[in-house]
Amino acid sequence: MSTSSRDGKPHATPVWGIWKNEAFFFETDPESVKGRNLRTNPKIVVHVRDGLDTVIVEGAASKETDLRALKALASDYSRKYGYRPDWSDPLTQIVFRVAPRTVHAWKAPRMHRSLVKFIF
């Protein structure tokens, strides 16, 4: 995923996350570079790691605060990654919800034939 600071300096980093209810969710330390960037500029790009089956999500990130949603996401993280996150202290770990604005997707090697663009 990629964020940028208030002055436009880009920052890219891999993250674990869950696609659920038409949004992408991920956790981070609020004082990490991405956490600080998102505090001042919510624009974000999320990209899957596979360059052959490409999905690029452009959107805006916001803090997820709904306790039921967080509980369900913790179960999803446990199933997917084999650990149970503790999101009880927002000073050490927060969850962001990425609402997609635009999604680009294609399948290699015939990108020109499979390119799709979704606008939300």
Please give the domain boundaries of the chain with CATH numbers for all domains.
2-119 (2.30.110.10)
Would you state the pLDDT for residue 16? Answer: 93
Give average pLDDT by consecutive 10-residue segment, the chain, 120 residues: 92 94 94 95 90 89 93 94 87 92 85 78
Q: Give the three-state DSSP class for 65.
A: coil
Would you state the pLDDT for residue 72? Answer: 93
Torsion of CA 97, 101, 53, 13, to 10 degrees: -50
Would you state the pLDDT for residue 30? Answer: 93
